[in-house]
Amino acid sequence: MRKGLVRKVLFYGAAGLVTVLGIALALVYAYQEKIVALFVAEANKHIKTEVEVEKISLSLFEKFPQVAVTLDQVNVHEGLPESNESLARADKLYFTFSIWDVLQGEYSVKQFYMEKGEVYVKVLPDGSVNYQVFGSDTTSEESDFTFDLEQITLTEVAVHYIDQQLKQTYQVDAHQLAAALAISPETIDIEVSGQTTIHTIKIGTGEYFKGKRVNLATALSIDRLKETIALQPSEVQVEGAAYAVGGAIAYGQGTELDLQLEGKNTSIQSLLSLLPQSITQEFSQYRSEGDIYFTGTIKGKASGPHTPQVNFNFGARNASFFHPDVAQRVEQIKLTGSFTNGDKQKAATSVLELKDLSGVLNGRPFKGNLTYKNFDNPYIAFDVQGMLDVGYVLGLAKLEQIRSGSGLADVRVAFSGNLNEFKARPGNSTLNTTGEVTLHNVSLSLRQMPLPLSNLNGNFIFKRNDVGVSDFKGKLGESDFVVNGMFKNVMAWTLLQNQRLLVEADFSSKYLNFDQLLSEEQNTAETDRTGDSYKLVISPNIAFDLSASIERVKFRRFRGKNFRGEVKLRNQVLSTPNISFQAIGGDFAVRGNLDARTRDHIKISTATKLNNMSVDSLFYVFENFHQNFIEERHLRGQLTANIVSDVYFNSQLDPKTDLLQAEIMATVRNGQLLNFPPMQKMSTFVKRSELANMRFAELQNSFWIQGGTIYIPEMDISSSLSAAPVVSISGTHTFDQRMDYKIKLPLFSNRRPDKDAAFGVVAEDPDSGNSNLFLTLKGSESDFKIAYDDARVRQKIKTDLKQEGQELRDILRGKKPKAKEEKVIAPQEGEYFDFDDN
């Protein structure tokens, strides 16, 4: 019985509901045209601007159980003369009333819905507004259709407010916002709740609340007669923090505010939300925990040219501050702070202060203060004291330029100054910086320079724009350094663009490894590498005067020691008036400069003195000067030379040999030429055993290098060869290894006549008993020919004939003739040597 009764109840209930819905639906469609016509007529009484609507219809189900007048694709034009811009656009507008109104023939709109739309509100520079689109209320008591709104609901509606007078912009998305209304002739009571996202609030040059989700729960009462709004204690939630807001707003003669704010469950990030983004952007990712409090007032006119006075007070007790992606935290934070926009309510009179700030970093306490005045022309003053763990601070700060760090820094620094004045006049001591920082075994790994800095120790004393450096020592890769002196213009170089740092100091080192210091891989971020071995770039913003003392230097095959001298850098030109060192078994003294102003055209101009240097070591260190014709294994001896040169490189330190210019005055003592292939080809004239180790006591000559060619003036080499004790050589040798040498060998009369006769007729001198053989060596390192020097032979014969004619004239005049010094072999024209290796 019970089950049957339940079924009957459900059946009849459903049937009744269907019947009612059917009747309601029938009534709606029966009265559809009448209701829509009444709605349009009543709307036209209130709206005095053009409204474009794609479709107007009556619906029972879209806002059931209310009947809704539905407007699709609505465009409301703004209330400005001759303007076609929109005040509002929406996909859907709904005006609803009770179904009983349909039955009674009286239609009163109680609720309004706007879905997926945008609202554009403007205040123009002259104070006119674009939202005055409603006319006077002309509704009569006998009207069948009235607007008596009790609730307004916005769903996914973007609101844009631009006040061109106050230079303010608001952009807010109302995701789901509902307002309940109670309207009487004297007052309107409103309760608003819902979720919004504030894209931005721009006031002057400041940007506030950017990208913040805000939950509203507020109640207010509008007094129509007094033109005031009483804001009941309401709650606004921002970033998880709640703010209680209350007070009064007068709007009769402009807008005047008298509001009180109090923070509940606030955090550092929620407090930062109240400040301009330009100040807080770097800290927006940080979070806080602990007791953070906040109170504030907003009071004064907020219309036309007026901005209300804003005063906030905030603080923290036993709070912590941290980045969510790292383990480091600032703990036990205590501070009191305040913010005001000043007596003139402008950015120029705004002040932010943090007082008596203290906390703990990795178990080490610190304290400080901060003042930030005049947001248009900022003046900053702060002081900080504490023994800071460098690695812990860097982990908390998450600086992109620094990968990691370690060690301790004892910091006691105070800073104050106007930043814009400092930018305009960085050299005029507009900043006041005092205090000192002492490093204790600090290490740093930089992203732009993979070569690590380690074991950094030293004391830095700040005085305005400069820093005095005392016993600053450490290592850069394998290289070490110690610096004592003055770093000038440090603050400008650190804080501003294109400012020069000047270092006047003593520099010393036990070891510098230029393979590392100039390595592109070790000194360039991975994304900027080109694959070259070396990279030399000198910053135009660094200058120095150094008195240098270096025990050892390494670069490729070069090894030097005991470097002493003065080094100066100005405008990317490195110069030294006097630097000396020991290398390659001898002593060097150098003066000159390195000009790196053109990045891929580095010029090195030097005047160098070499003393007692090993020739074979020189060839080894300089990698045989990139040729294999004569190598370090072929040479022995001690070199003394004066060299004046201009050498050119690109930024990868590849030489531009075609531009090299040099003048070399050289002396080689105790020299040896060992197993030199061209000399081996002379075995026709000299014993092979002697050619394998040709010795000479001293060689002196001047050489010139220009246009990729070495020019060798004629020089006599007194050698150990029994058949040719003096060999004369001259000629040219190009950097692409093309040779053109002229050789003169003395030949003796007792030298195998059968062999000598093969090369021509020898005219013997009864006094000296010798003659000269003139040869040329032409070709490349791997393909060269030795031949008679026909031109020199002809010239010699011509000279000898002229000399003999002179001698004949002298005899006829009774003068004794001079002894003949040379006899000339007259070769067959164009004949080449075809030496037998046997």
Convert the pLDDT of each residue in 290-303 to its tens digit.
888 888 898 988 76
**Radius of gyration of the chain measured on its C-alpha atoms:** 48
Q: H or E stretch including 641?
A: strand 635-649
End position of a domain, from candidates 321, 352, 383 = 352
- CA separation, residue 37 to residues 19, 27, 120 (Å): 27, 16, 28
507 lies in some domain? yes
836 lies in some domain? no
661-674/145-163 β-pairing: unpaired
- CA separation, residue 393 to residues 386, 526, 803, 825 (Å): 12, 25, 92, 88
Nearest to 712 by CA among 693, 695, 699, 696: 699
Whole-number Å distance between alpha carbons of 582 and 304 = 80
514 lies in some domain? yes
Mark whether 552 and 633 lie in a shared domain: no
Instruction: Give me the pLDDT at residue 136, please.
Output: 53
Confidence of residue 824 (pLDDT cuts 50, 70, 90): very low
Q: Per-residue pLDDT averaged across 691-708, rounded?
A: 78
Whole-number Å distance between alpha carbons of 485 and 467 = 9
Structure tokens at 206: 């400041």
Residue 28 has pLDDT above 70, yes or no: no
377, 348 contact by CB (below 8 A): yes
- CA separation, residue 486 to residues 425, 469, 567 (Å): 21, 6, 15
Mark whether 444 and 542 lie in a shared domain: yes
End position of a domain, from candidates 327, 352, 377 = 352
DSSP annotation of 527 reads: G
- CA separation, residue 814 to residues 697, 808, 809, 811 (Å): 42, 10, 9, 5
Mark whether 290 and 427 lie in a shared domain: no
364-373/351-361 β-pairing: antiparallel
Residue 8 has pLDDT above 60, yes or no: no
Alpha helices in 653-789 (DSSP H): 677-680, 688-691, 753-757
Which of 139-143, 185-189, 279-283, 432-436 is modeled with the greatest confidence? 432-436
Mark whether 682 and 770 lie in a shared domain: no
Nearest to 312 by CA among 343, 352, 344: 352
Mark whether 83 and 57 lie in a shared domain: yes
Instruction: Give me the pLDDT at residue 503, please.
Output: 94
The pTM score is 0.67
Instruction: Give me the pLDDT at residue 143, please.
Output: 62
What type of residue sits at position 559?
R
- Residue partners of 428: CB distance under 8 A and separation at least 6: none
Mark whether 449 and 529 lie in a shared domain: yes
Mark whether 442 and 559 lie in a shared domain: yes
Do you know the residue count of the chain?
838
Q: Which residue has the tokens 């740092």?
A: 501
Instruction: Give me the pLDDT at residue 567, please.
Output: 95
- For 266-324, the DSSP string reads --HHHHHTTS-HHHHGGGTT-EEEEEEEEEEEEEEE-STT---EEEEEEEEEEEEEE-T
Structure tokens at 178: 């509902």
Instruction: Give me the pLDDT at residue 753, please.
Output: 38
Mark whether 157 and 234 lie in a shared domain: no
Whole-number Å distance between alpha carbons of 286 and 395 = 13
379 lies in some domain? no
Structural domain that includes position 679 = 596-732
Whole-number Å distance between alpha carbons of 798 and 794 = 6
Whole-number Å distance between alpha carbons of 26 and 253 = 52
What are residue 644's DSSP bridge partners?
607, 663
Write the burial class of residue 766 (CB in 10 Å: 0-12 exposed, 13-18 middle, 19+ buried).
exposed
Instruction: Give me the pLDDT at residue 116, please.
Output: 92
Mark whether 11 and 70 lie in a shared domain: yes
Residue 141 has pLDDT above 80, yes or no: no
Alpha helices in 540-684 (DSSP H): 615-621, 677-680
Q: Per-residue pLDDT averaged across 144-161, rounded?
A: 80
Mark whether 685 and 819 lie in a shared domain: no
711, 739 contact by CB (below 8 A): no
Write the burial class of residue 392 (CB in 10 Å: 0-12 exposed, 13-18 middle, 19+ buried).
buried
The fraction of the chain above a pLDDT of 70, given in percent, is 75
Domain count along the chain: 5
Instruction: Give me the pLDDT at residue 755, please.
Output: 39
Mark whether 625 and 767 lie in a shared domain: no
Residue 442 has pLDDT above 80, yes or no: yes
Mark whether 119 and 10 lie in a shared domain: yes
Instruction: Give me the pLDDT at residue 523, please.
Output: 75
Instruction: Give me the pLDDT at residue 487, please.
Output: 94
The fraction of the chain above a pLDDT of 90, given in percent, is 20
User: Residue 66, SS3?
Assistant: coil
41, 69 contact by CB (below 8 A): no
Q: Per-residue pLDDT averaged across 724-731, rounded?
A: 76
Whole-number Å distance between alpha carbons of 810 and 611 = 49
Instruction: Give me the pLDDT at residue 246, please.
Output: 87
834 lies in some domain? no
67 lies in some domain? yes
Q: Per-residue pLDDT averaged across 105-126, rounded?
A: 83
Residue 345's φ and ψ, nearest 5 degrees, are 50, 50
Residue 379's φ and ψ, nearest 5 degrees, are -115, 125
Nearest to 771 by CA among 785, 787, 753: 753
Compute the mean pLDDT over every residue in the chain, rounded to the nearest whole number: 78
Q: What b/e readout covers 555-566, taking b as 16+ CB neighbours within 10 angstroms?
A: beeeebeebebe
Task: List, for residues 662-678, the tens digit of each pLDDT value.
Answer: 888 888 888 777 776 66
22 lies in some domain? yes
End position of a domain, from candidates 674, 705, 732 = 732
Q: Looking at 127-136, 541-550, 596-605, 680-689, which range is the least confident one? A: 680-689
Structure tokens at 454: 């380690």
323 lies in some domain? yes
